Chain A
Amino acid sequence: MITDLIDVHAPAIDVQGLVKTFGDNEVLKGIDLTVTAGEVVCVIGPSGSGKSTLLRSVNLLEEPTGGKILIEGIDITDPDIDIDGVRTRIGMVFQSFNLFPHMSVVGNLTIAQRRVKKRGKAESEKIAHEMLARVGMAHKADAYPTQLSGGQQQRVAIARALCMNPDMMLFDEPTSALDPELVGEVLQVMRSLADEGMTMLVVTHEMGFAREVGSRLIFMDGGHIVEEGDPREVLGNPQHQRTKDFLSRVL
Protein backbone atom coordinates (compact mmCIF):
# COMPACT_ATOMS: atom_id res chain seq x y z
CA MET A 1 0.00 0.00 0.00
CA ILE A 2 1.12 3.47 -0.89
CA THR A 3 -0.05 4.75 2.50
CA ASP A 4 2.55 2.56 4.27
CA LEU A 5 5.33 4.52 2.58
CA ILE A 6 4.14 7.92 3.79
CA ASP A 7 6.54 9.64 6.17
CA VAL A 8 4.49 11.97 8.34
CA HIS A 9 7.55 14.00 9.25
CA ALA A 10 8.57 14.58 5.62
CA PRO A 11 7.55 17.79 3.88
CA ALA A 12 4.33 17.63 1.87
CA ILE A 13 6.21 18.53 -1.30
CA ASP A 14 9.96 18.34 -1.70
CA VAL A 15 11.30 19.25 -5.14
CA GLN A 16 15.03 18.67 -5.60
CA GLY A 17 16.97 19.93 -8.62
CA LEU A 18 13.99 19.60 -10.96
CA VAL A 19 14.87 19.96 -14.64
CA LYS A 20 12.31 19.81 -17.46
CA THR A 21 13.00 20.18 -21.15
CA PHE A 22 10.58 20.15 -24.08
CA GLY A 23 12.77 19.26 -27.05
CA ASP A 24 15.58 21.83 -27.00
CA ASN A 25 13.66 24.15 -24.73
CA GLU A 26 14.75 23.96 -21.09
CA VAL A 27 11.72 25.15 -19.16
CA LEU A 28 12.85 24.31 -15.63
CA LYS A 29 16.56 24.72 -14.88
CA GLY A 30 17.04 23.09 -11.51
CA ILE A 31 14.23 23.97 -9.11
CA ASP A 32 14.48 23.35 -5.38
CA LEU A 33 11.29 23.86 -3.43
CA THR A 34 9.95 22.55 -0.14
CA VAL A 35 6.36 22.95 1.00
CA THR A 36 5.58 21.84 4.54
CA ALA A 37 2.15 20.72 5.66
CA GLY A 38 -0.27 23.60 6.18
CA GLU A 39 1.71 26.09 4.09
CA VAL A 40 0.08 28.12 1.32
CA VAL A 41 2.78 28.79 -1.27
CA CYS A 42 1.94 31.09 -4.16
CA VAL A 43 3.99 31.09 -7.34
CA ILE A 44 4.05 34.16 -9.56
CA GLY A 45 6.04 35.06 -12.63
CA PRO A 46 5.76 36.06 -16.28
CA SER A 47 4.25 33.62 -18.75
CA GLY A 48 6.82 31.10 -19.95
CA SER A 49 8.66 31.30 -16.64
CA GLY A 50 7.96 27.61 -15.96
CA LYS A 51 5.56 28.07 -13.04
CA SER A 52 2.76 25.93 -14.53
CA THR A 53 5.25 23.25 -15.58
CA LEU A 54 6.60 23.17 -12.03
CA LEU A 55 3.09 22.72 -10.63
CA ARG A 56 2.16 20.03 -13.19
CA SER A 57 5.38 18.17 -12.40
CA VAL A 58 4.38 17.85 -8.76
CA ASN A 59 1.68 15.30 -9.66
CA LEU A 60 3.61 14.01 -12.66
CA LEU A 61 1.32 15.41 -15.35
CA GLU A 62 4.71 16.46 -16.71
CA GLU A 63 7.45 13.85 -16.56
CA PRO A 64 10.60 15.45 -15.08
CA THR A 65 13.74 15.32 -17.22
CA GLY A 66 15.98 15.43 -14.16
CA GLY A 67 15.86 15.80 -10.40
CA LYS A 68 13.56 14.34 -7.79
CA ILE A 69 10.10 15.08 -6.44
CA LEU A 70 9.12 13.69 -3.06
CA ILE A 71 5.49 13.75 -1.97
CA GLU A 72 5.21 13.07 1.78
CA GLY A 73 8.58 11.33 1.54
CA ILE A 74 7.71 9.20 -1.50
CA ASP A 75 9.88 9.73 -4.58
CA ILE A 76 7.32 9.93 -7.38
CA THR A 77 10.01 10.01 -10.07
CA ASP A 78 10.74 6.36 -9.19
CA PRO A 79 9.16 4.47 -12.12
CA ASP A 80 7.98 1.68 -9.79
CA ILE A 81 5.86 3.98 -7.63
CA ASP A 82 2.06 3.68 -7.74
CA ILE A 83 1.47 7.15 -9.18
CA ASP A 84 -2.32 6.75 -9.17
CA GLY A 85 -2.19 6.15 -5.42
CA VAL A 86 -0.03 9.25 -4.88
CA ARG A 87 -2.29 11.37 -7.06
CA THR A 88 -5.33 10.63 -4.87
CA ARG A 89 -3.47 12.51 -2.12
CA ILE A 90 -2.89 15.55 -4.37
CA GLY A 91 -5.93 17.54 -5.47
CA MET A 92 -5.49 19.48 -8.70
CA VAL A 93 -7.48 22.44 -9.98
CA PHE A 94 -7.00 23.60 -13.56
CA GLN A 95 -7.29 26.95 -15.27
CA SER A 96 -9.93 25.52 -17.65
CA PHE A 97 -11.87 23.66 -14.87
CA ASN A 98 -11.93 20.38 -16.86
CA LEU A 99 -15.19 19.14 -15.43
CA PHE A 100 -16.52 16.04 -17.19
CA PRO A 101 -19.29 17.42 -19.45
CA HIS A 102 -21.09 14.09 -19.85
CA MET A 103 -21.78 13.78 -16.13
CA SER A 104 -23.86 15.80 -13.68
CA VAL A 105 -22.13 17.69 -10.89
CA VAL A 106 -22.68 14.76 -8.52
CA GLY A 107 -21.39 12.40 -11.23
CA ASN A 108 -18.23 14.48 -11.50
CA LEU A 109 -17.75 14.28 -7.76
CA THR A 110 -18.43 10.57 -7.34
CA ILE A 111 -16.73 8.94 -10.35
CA ALA A 112 -13.22 8.85 -8.86
CA GLN A 113 -14.51 8.09 -5.37
CA ARG A 114 -16.27 5.03 -6.74
CA ARG A 115 -13.73 3.82 -9.33
CA VAL A 116 -10.53 4.68 -7.46
CA LYS A 117 -11.43 4.77 -3.77
CA LYS A 118 -14.03 1.99 -4.24
CA ARG A 119 -16.58 3.80 -2.11
CA GLY A 120 -20.22 2.78 -2.45
CA LYS A 121 -22.82 4.87 -4.26
CA ALA A 122 -24.54 6.16 -1.12
CA GLU A 123 -21.31 6.97 0.69
CA SER A 124 -19.72 8.75 -2.27
CA GLU A 125 -22.86 10.81 -2.87
CA LYS A 126 -22.98 11.80 0.78
CA ILE A 127 -19.38 12.98 0.61
CA ALA A 128 -20.10 14.76 -2.69
CA HIS A 129 -22.94 16.73 -1.11
CA GLU A 130 -20.77 17.64 1.89
CA MET A 131 -18.04 18.98 -0.40
CA LEU A 132 -20.54 20.86 -2.56
CA ALA A 133 -21.88 22.54 0.58
CA ARG A 134 -18.33 23.51 1.46
CA VAL A 135 -17.91 25.40 -1.82
CA GLY A 136 -21.47 26.80 -1.74
CA MET A 137 -22.71 24.69 -4.66
CA ALA A 138 -25.10 22.27 -2.92
CA HIS A 139 -28.05 23.67 -4.89
CA LYS A 140 -26.48 22.65 -8.22
CA ALA A 141 -25.83 18.99 -7.43
CA ASP A 142 -27.93 17.73 -10.33
CA ALA A 143 -26.92 20.38 -12.89
CA TYR A 144 -24.60 19.69 -15.80
CA PRO A 145 -21.31 21.60 -16.15
CA THR A 146 -22.44 23.52 -19.25
CA GLN A 147 -25.33 24.97 -17.24
CA LEU A 148 -22.95 26.61 -14.75
CA SER A 149 -20.99 29.85 -14.85
CA GLY A 150 -17.21 29.70 -14.92
CA GLY A 151 -16.97 30.54 -11.24
CA GLN A 152 -19.48 27.84 -10.36
CA GLN A 153 -17.63 25.30 -12.50
CA GLN A 154 -14.36 26.08 -10.78
CA ARG A 155 -15.95 25.72 -7.34
CA VAL A 156 -17.34 22.34 -8.40
CA ALA A 157 -13.86 21.39 -9.66
CA ILE A 158 -12.44 22.26 -6.23
CA ALA A 159 -15.15 20.15 -4.56
CA ARG A 160 -14.34 17.27 -6.92
CA ALA A 161 -10.71 17.35 -5.83
CA LEU A 162 -11.72 17.57 -2.14
CA CYS A 163 -13.84 14.40 -2.44
CA MET A 164 -10.64 12.36 -2.61
CA ASN A 165 -9.62 13.76 0.82
CA PRO A 166 -6.29 15.04 -0.48
CA ASP A 167 -3.46 16.07 1.83
CA MET A 168 -2.57 18.97 -0.46
CA MET A 169 -4.00 20.96 -3.34
CA LEU A 170 -2.40 22.30 -6.49
CA PHE A 171 -4.01 25.29 -8.22
CA ASP A 172 -2.93 26.10 -11.78
CA GLU A 173 -4.07 29.69 -12.43
CA PRO A 174 -7.55 28.85 -11.10
CA THR A 175 -9.06 32.27 -11.80
CA SER A 176 -7.33 33.19 -15.07
CA ALA A 177 -10.16 31.92 -17.29
CA LEU A 178 -12.87 33.69 -15.29
CA ASP A 179 -14.74 36.90 -15.94
CA PRO A 180 -13.55 39.50 -13.39
CA GLU A 181 -16.81 39.50 -11.44
CA LEU A 182 -16.54 35.72 -10.87
CA VAL A 183 -12.98 35.70 -9.52
CA GLY A 184 -14.01 36.61 -5.99
CA GLU A 185 -16.22 33.59 -5.32
CA VAL A 186 -13.41 31.18 -6.26
CA LEU A 187 -10.80 33.03 -4.22
CA GLN A 188 -13.23 33.00 -1.28
CA VAL A 189 -13.41 29.20 -1.43
CA MET A 190 -9.62 28.96 -1.68
CA ARG A 191 -9.23 31.29 1.26
CA SER A 192 -11.51 29.18 3.44
CA LEU A 193 -9.54 26.08 2.44
CA ALA A 194 -6.34 27.80 3.51
CA ASP A 195 -7.95 28.82 6.80
CA GLU A 196 -8.81 25.18 7.45
CA GLY A 197 -5.12 24.32 7.17
CA MET A 198 -4.98 22.80 3.67
CA THR A 199 -1.49 22.60 2.17
CA MET A 200 -1.66 24.59 -1.05
CA LEU A 201 0.64 25.34 -3.98
CA VAL A 202 -0.96 28.04 -6.08
CA VAL A 203 0.18 29.42 -9.43
CA THR A 204 -1.66 32.71 -9.70
CA HIS A 205 -1.79 36.26 -10.96
CA GLU A 206 -3.92 37.36 -8.02
CA MET A 207 -1.41 39.43 -6.03
CA GLY A 208 -4.04 40.34 -3.46
CA PHE A 209 -4.71 36.68 -2.70
CA ALA A 210 -0.97 35.95 -2.55
CA ARG A 211 -0.42 38.80 -0.13
CA GLU A 212 -3.31 38.09 2.20
CA VAL A 213 -3.57 34.29 2.14
CA GLY A 214 -0.11 33.09 1.11
CA SER A 215 2.37 32.04 3.77
CA ARG A 216 5.17 32.24 1.21
CA LEU A 217 5.60 33.79 -2.21
CA ILE A 218 7.85 32.52 -4.98
CA PHE A 219 8.81 34.56 -8.00
CA MET A 220 9.92 32.53 -11.01
CA ASP A 221 11.52 33.71 -14.21
CA GLY A 222 13.32 31.87 -17.01
CA GLY A 223 13.03 28.44 -15.37
CA HIS A 224 14.57 29.58 -12.06
CA ILE A 225 13.21 30.59 -8.69
CA VAL A 226 14.49 34.14 -8.59
CA GLU A 227 13.17 35.22 -5.23
CA GLU A 228 11.09 33.82 -2.41
CA GLY A 229 9.94 34.83 1.02
CA ASP A 230 7.12 36.38 2.99
CA PRO A 231 4.56 37.64 0.45
CA ARG A 232 4.37 41.11 1.97
CA GLU A 233 8.17 41.36 1.85
CA VAL A 234 8.53 40.15 -1.72
CA LEU A 235 5.67 42.26 -3.05
CA GLY A 236 6.49 45.35 -1.01
CA ASN A 237 10.26 45.25 -1.10
CA PRO A 238 11.53 43.02 -3.93
CA GLN A 239 15.28 42.39 -3.84
CA HIS A 240 15.99 41.36 -7.44
CA GLN A 241 15.77 43.56 -10.50
CA ARG A 242 13.69 40.98 -12.43
CA THR A 243 11.17 40.80 -9.60
CA LYS A 244 10.97 44.59 -9.51
CA ASP A 245 10.45 44.72 -13.29
CA PHE A 246 7.70 42.09 -13.18
CA LEU A 247 5.86 43.65 -10.26
CA SER A 248 6.04 47.12 -11.79
CA ARG A 249 4.28 45.69 -14.84
CA VAL A 250 1.49 43.84 -13.04
CA LEU A 251 0.77 46.00 -9.99
Chain B
Amino acid sequence: MALRRTQRQKLYRYVVYAVLIAVVVWAIVTTDWSRIGPLFFDPEIAAKMFPGIITTALVNTLWFTAVAFAGGLLLGILLALLKMSSIGPFRWIATAWIELFRGLPAIMTIFAISQVLPIATGISGQKLGGPVVLGLIGLILVASAYMAETIRAGLQAVPKGQTEAARSLGMSPFKTTFWIVVPQGFRIIIPPLTNEFVLLLKDTSLLFVAGSFIWSKELTNFAKDATTQNQNATPLVMAAILYLIVTIPLTRFTAYLERRMGNQR
Protein backbone atom coordinates (compact mmCIF):
# COMPACT_ATOMS: atom_id res chain seq x y z
CA MET B 1 0.00 0.00 0.00
CA ALA B 2 1.38 3.37 -0.97
CA LEU B 3 1.50 5.81 1.92
CA ARG B 4 1.89 9.53 1.59
CA ARG B 5 5.10 11.00 3.03
CA THR B 6 3.34 12.61 6.02
CA GLN B 7 1.54 9.37 6.82
CA ARG B 8 4.82 7.45 6.65
CA GLN B 9 6.44 9.93 9.06
CA LYS B 10 3.51 9.53 11.44
CA LEU B 11 3.82 5.76 11.34
CA TYR B 12 7.55 5.86 12.09
CA ARG B 13 6.89 8.13 15.04
CA TYR B 14 4.30 5.71 16.50
CA VAL B 15 6.75 2.81 16.09
CA VAL B 16 9.45 4.73 17.97
CA TYR B 17 7.00 5.57 20.79
CA ALA B 18 5.88 1.96 21.03
CA VAL B 19 9.44 0.62 21.27
CA LEU B 20 10.34 3.24 23.88
CA ILE B 21 7.32 2.42 26.06
CA ALA B 22 8.01 -1.33 25.71
CA VAL B 23 11.60 -0.91 26.91
CA VAL B 24 10.54 1.17 29.94
CA VAL B 25 7.77 -1.27 30.91
CA TRP B 26 10.13 -4.23 30.53
CA ALA B 27 12.73 -2.53 32.77
CA ILE B 28 10.15 -1.74 35.46
CA VAL B 29 8.62 -5.21 35.44
CA THR B 30 11.85 -7.22 35.44
CA THR B 31 13.66 -5.16 38.09
CA ASP B 32 13.67 -6.51 41.65
CA TRP B 33 12.48 -3.26 43.23
CA SER B 34 12.46 -4.60 46.76
CA ARG B 35 16.25 -5.04 46.53
CA ILE B 36 17.28 -2.10 44.31
CA GLY B 37 14.78 0.48 45.55
CA PRO B 38 16.06 1.01 49.10
CA LEU B 39 19.64 1.35 47.80
CA PHE B 40 18.65 4.45 45.85
CA PHE B 41 15.77 5.69 47.89
CA ASP B 42 15.43 4.64 51.48
CA PRO B 43 12.76 6.81 53.16
CA GLU B 44 14.42 6.45 56.57
CA ILE B 45 17.78 7.74 55.35
CA ALA B 46 16.05 10.39 53.30
CA ALA B 47 14.31 11.68 56.42
CA LYS B 48 17.65 11.90 58.23
CA MET B 49 19.01 14.24 55.53
CA PHE B 50 16.58 16.97 56.54
CA PRO B 51 16.98 19.75 57.31
CA GLY B 52 20.76 19.77 56.63
CA ILE B 53 20.53 19.02 52.91
CA ILE B 54 18.40 22.13 52.48
CA THR B 55 19.55 24.53 55.18
CA THR B 56 23.26 23.79 54.78
CA ALA B 57 23.96 22.05 51.48
CA LEU B 58 21.49 23.69 49.08
CA VAL B 59 21.85 27.08 50.73
CA ASN B 60 25.65 26.87 50.43
CA THR B 61 25.44 25.80 46.78
CA LEU B 62 23.20 28.75 45.91
CA TRP B 63 25.20 31.16 48.01
CA PHE B 64 28.56 30.09 46.50
CA THR B 65 27.06 30.30 43.00
CA ALA B 66 25.74 33.79 43.63
CA VAL B 67 29.09 35.04 44.97
CA ALA B 68 31.08 33.44 42.13
CA PHE B 69 28.60 34.78 39.54
CA ALA B 70 28.64 38.33 40.90
CA GLY B 71 32.42 38.36 41.27
CA GLY B 72 32.92 36.77 37.86
CA LEU B 73 30.52 39.27 36.27
CA LEU B 74 32.28 42.34 37.70
CA LEU B 75 35.71 41.01 36.80
CA GLY B 76 34.37 39.82 33.43
CA ILE B 77 33.07 43.31 32.55
CA LEU B 78 36.46 44.77 33.42
CA LEU B 79 38.26 42.13 31.34
CA ALA B 80 35.89 42.63 28.39
CA LEU B 81 36.54 46.39 28.43
CA LEU B 82 40.30 45.77 28.74
CA LYS B 83 40.17 43.37 25.83
CA MET B 84 38.40 45.97 23.65
CA SER B 85 40.85 48.71 24.72
CA SER B 86 42.91 50.53 22.12
CA ILE B 87 45.92 50.25 24.47
CA GLY B 88 47.98 47.15 23.63
CA PRO B 89 49.17 46.05 27.10
CA PHE B 90 45.58 46.18 28.43
CA ARG B 91 44.47 43.84 25.64
CA TRP B 92 47.43 41.52 26.28
CA ILE B 93 46.72 41.23 30.00
CA ALA B 94 43.05 40.47 29.33
CA THR B 95 43.86 37.93 26.63
CA ALA B 96 46.42 36.12 28.79
CA TRP B 97 43.99 36.01 31.73
CA ILE B 98 41.09 34.73 29.64
CA GLU B 99 43.14 32.09 27.81
CA LEU B 100 44.74 30.85 31.03
CA PHE B 101 41.59 30.38 33.09
CA ARG B 102 39.49 29.10 30.21
CA GLY B 103 42.20 26.68 29.19
CA LEU B 104 42.78 25.08 32.58
CA PRO B 105 40.35 22.66 34.25
CA ALA B 106 38.34 24.61 36.84
CA ILE B 107 39.30 22.11 39.52
CA MET B 108 42.99 22.85 38.88
CA THR B 109 42.52 26.60 39.30
CA ILE B 110 40.61 26.11 42.54
CA PHE B 111 43.28 23.72 43.77
CA ALA B 112 46.07 26.11 42.79
CA ILE B 113 44.51 29.08 44.61
CA SER B 114 43.53 27.17 47.76
CA GLN B 115 46.41 24.71 48.16
CA VAL B 116 49.37 25.84 46.04
CA LEU B 117 49.16 29.56 46.78
CA PRO B 118 49.72 29.10 50.55
CA ILE B 119 52.75 26.89 49.83
CA ALA B 120 54.14 29.31 47.24
CA THR B 121 53.73 32.40 49.42
CA GLY B 122 54.60 30.72 52.70
CA ILE B 123 51.45 32.22 54.24
CA SER B 124 49.02 29.73 55.73
CA GLY B 125 45.70 29.16 53.99
CA GLN B 126 43.88 30.34 57.13
CA LYS B 127 45.64 33.73 57.00
CA LEU B 128 44.78 34.04 53.30
CA GLY B 129 41.09 33.71 54.13
CA GLY B 130 40.50 30.00 54.67
CA PRO B 131 39.34 27.28 52.27
CA VAL B 132 35.92 28.79 51.54
CA VAL B 133 37.24 32.20 50.51
CA LEU B 134 40.20 30.79 48.56
CA GLY B 135 38.03 28.23 46.78
CA LEU B 136 35.56 30.94 45.79
CA ILE B 137 38.36 33.15 44.52
CA GLY B 138 39.43 30.28 42.27
CA LEU B 139 35.88 29.87 41.01
CA ILE B 140 35.57 33.63 40.39
CA LEU B 141 38.75 33.56 38.27
CA VAL B 142 37.32 30.77 36.13
CA ALA B 143 33.91 32.47 35.83
CA SER B 144 35.45 35.84 34.90
CA ALA B 145 37.32 34.33 31.96
CA TYR B 146 34.22 32.75 30.46
CA MET B 147 31.99 35.75 31.13
CA ALA B 148 34.53 38.23 29.69
CA GLU B 149 34.23 36.60 26.28
CA THR B 150 30.43 36.47 26.50
CA ILE B 151 30.23 40.13 27.51
CA ARG B 152 32.67 41.24 24.82
CA ALA B 153 30.67 39.41 22.16
CA GLY B 154 27.48 41.07 23.42
CA LEU B 155 28.90 44.58 23.47
CA GLN B 156 30.41 44.16 20.01
CA ALA B 157 27.08 42.91 18.67
CA VAL B 158 25.60 46.39 19.27
CA PRO B 159 25.67 48.14 15.86
CA LYS B 160 28.30 50.85 15.36
CA GLY B 161 25.55 53.28 14.32
CA GLN B 162 24.27 53.27 17.92
CA THR B 163 27.59 54.59 19.18
CA GLU B 164 27.77 57.13 16.36
CA ALA B 165 24.25 58.39 17.08
CA ALA B 166 25.03 58.81 20.78
CA ARG B 167 28.37 60.52 20.14
CA SER B 168 26.79 62.87 17.60
CA LEU B 169 24.34 63.97 20.32
CA GLY B 170 27.34 65.04 22.39
CA MET B 171 27.44 62.04 24.71
CA SER B 172 30.94 61.20 25.96
CA PRO B 173 32.49 57.77 25.31
CA PHE B 174 31.66 56.78 28.89
CA LYS B 175 28.04 57.97 28.74
CA THR B 176 27.64 56.25 25.38
CA THR B 177 28.94 52.97 26.79
CA PHE B 178 26.86 53.23 29.97
CA TRP B 179 23.50 54.42 28.55
CA ILE B 180 23.47 53.05 25.02
CA VAL B 181 25.89 50.15 24.44
CA VAL B 182 25.77 48.26 27.75
CA PRO B 183 21.94 48.13 28.09
CA GLN B 184 21.64 46.73 24.55
CA GLY B 185 24.61 44.41 24.94
CA PHE B 186 23.22 42.93 28.14
CA ARG B 187 19.91 42.19 26.51
CA ILE B 188 21.83 40.12 23.99
CA ILE B 189 23.88 38.24 26.57
CA ILE B 190 21.19 37.35 29.13
CA PRO B 191 20.69 33.86 27.62
CA PRO B 192 24.41 32.93 27.51
CA LEU B 193 24.85 34.49 30.94
CA THR B 194 22.05 32.33 32.37
CA ASN B 195 23.85 29.35 30.87
CA GLU B 196 27.02 30.50 32.60
CA PHE B 197 25.10 30.62 35.88
CA VAL B 198 24.02 27.01 35.47
CA LEU B 199 27.58 25.90 34.67
CA LEU B 200 28.83 27.78 37.71
CA LEU B 201 26.17 26.21 39.93
CA LYS B 202 27.44 22.80 38.94
CA ASP B 203 31.08 23.87 39.29
CA THR B 204 30.53 24.75 42.97
CA SER B 205 30.77 20.96 43.45
CA LEU B 206 34.51 21.32 42.74
CA LEU B 207 34.99 23.52 45.79
CA PHE B 208 35.65 20.45 47.94
CA VAL B 209 39.27 20.40 46.72
CA ALA B 210 39.78 23.65 48.63
CA GLY B 211 38.78 21.82 51.81
CA SER B 212 35.60 22.40 53.75
CA PHE B 213 34.04 22.64 57.19
CA ILE B 214 30.82 20.93 58.22
CA TRP B 215 29.02 24.28 57.83
CA SER B 216 30.52 24.97 54.41
CA LYS B 217 29.57 21.74 52.60
CA GLU B 218 27.67 22.25 49.40
CA LEU B 219 25.27 19.74 47.83
CA THR B 220 27.75 17.34 46.23
CA ASN B 221 30.15 17.29 49.15
CA PHE B 222 27.30 16.88 51.62
CA ALA B 223 25.72 14.04 49.63
CA LYS B 224 29.04 12.31 48.99
CA ASP B 225 29.85 12.19 52.71
CA ALA B 226 26.34 11.08 53.68
CA THR B 227 26.38 8.38 51.01
CA THR B 228 29.67 7.00 52.35
CA GLN B 229 28.45 7.11 55.96
CA ASN B 230 25.18 5.32 55.21
CA GLN B 231 26.48 2.98 52.49
CA ASN B 232 23.39 4.00 50.57
CA ALA B 233 22.90 6.21 47.50
CA THR B 234 19.79 7.98 48.80
CA PRO B 235 21.61 11.26 49.68
CA LEU B 236 23.20 11.37 46.22
CA VAL B 237 19.81 10.91 44.53
CA MET B 238 18.34 13.66 46.68
CA ALA B 239 21.17 16.02 45.83
CA ALA B 240 20.75 15.23 42.14
CA ILE B 241 17.03 16.04 42.33
CA LEU B 242 17.78 19.31 44.12
CA TYR B 243 20.29 20.31 41.39
CA LEU B 244 17.73 19.60 38.68
CA ILE B 245 15.01 21.55 40.51
CA VAL B 246 17.23 24.62 40.24
CA THR B 247 18.89 24.09 36.85
CA ILE B 248 16.01 22.89 34.69
CA PRO B 249 13.84 26.01 35.18
CA LEU B 250 16.90 28.15 34.40
CA THR B 251 17.72 26.33 31.17
CA ARG B 252 14.03 26.42 30.18
CA PHE B 253 14.07 30.16 30.89
CA THR B 254 17.13 30.54 28.63
CA ALA B 255 15.43 28.61 25.86
CA TYR B 256 12.35 30.83 26.23
CA LEU B 257 14.43 34.03 26.03
CA GLU B 258 16.27 32.79 22.96
CA ARG B 259 12.99 31.90 21.27
CA ARG B 260 11.57 35.30 22.06
CA MET B 261 14.65 37.12 20.76
CA GLY B 262 14.56 34.97 17.64
CA ASN B 263 10.98 36.08 17.05
CA GLN B 264 11.88 39.74 17.36
CA ARG B 265 14.38 39.54 14.52
Hey, which bits of chain A sit against chain B, CB under 8 A? 59, 61, 84-85, 87-88, 90-92, 94, 96, 98-102, 111-112, 115-117, 146, 157, 160-161, 164
Contact = CB atoms under 8 A, between A and B. Distances in A.
Interface in B245-265: 264
A85 B171 CA distance: 9
B171 A115 contact: yes
Given A102-B187, A111-B179, A115-B175, A84 B170 contact: yes
B190 to A, nearest CB: 13
Closest 10 CB pairs of A and B: A88-B170, A98-B165, A112-B169, A92-B168, A98-B161, A87-B170, A116-B170, A84-B170, A102-B183, A115-B175
Given A85-B170, A92-B164, 9 more contacts: A61-B168, A87-B169, A98-B164, A98-B165, A112-B170, A115-B171, A116-B169, A116-B175, A161-B169
Interface string B171-215: 110010001100110010000000000000000000000000000
Nearest to B187: A102
A113 B264 CA distance: 29
Contacts of B48: none
B162 A160 contact: no
Interface residues of B, number: 19
A92 B161 CA distance: 12
B167 interface: yes
B166 interface: yes
Given A84-B171, A87-B169, A115 B164 contact: no
Contact of B171 (A61, A91, A116): A116
Nearest to A112: B169
Contacts of B180: 100, 111
Contacts of B184: 100-102
Contacts of A98: 159, 161-162, 164-165
A88 B171 CA distance: 8
B261 to A, nearest CB: 12
B187 A112 contact: no
A219 B187 CA distance: 43
Nearest to A163: B169
A102 B180 CA distance: 8
Nearest to A108: B165
B170 A100 contact: no
A179 to B, nearest CB: 19
A171 to B, nearest CB: 12
B168 to A, nearest CB: 4
B164 A112 contact: no
B135 to A, nearest CB: 38
A112 B167 contact: no
A157 B166 CA distance: 11
A94 B181 CA distance: 18
Nearest to B264: A146
A110 to B, nearest CB: 11
Contacts of B171: 84, 111-112, 115-116
A94 B170 contact: no
B169 A88 contact: yes
A144 to B, nearest CB: 11
Contacts of A84: 167, 170-172
Nearest to A87: B170
B175 A94 contact: no
A160 to B, nearest CB: 7
Contacts of B170: 84-85, 87-88, 112, 116-117, 164
25 contacts: A61-B164, A84-B167, A84-B170, A84-B172, A85-B170, A87-B167, A87-B168, A87-B169, A91-B168, A94-B161, A96-B161, A100-B166, A100-B184, A111-B171, A111-B180, A112-B169, A112-B171, A115-B175, A115-B179, A116-B170, A117-B170, A146-B264, A157-B165, A161-B169, A164-B170
Nearest to B161: A98
B265 to A, nearest CB: 10
B162 A164 contact: no
A161 B169 CA distance: 7
A213 B168 CA distance: 25
A53 to B, nearest CB: 13
A92 B166 CA distance: 10
A161 B184 CA distance: 21
Contacts of B166: 100, 112
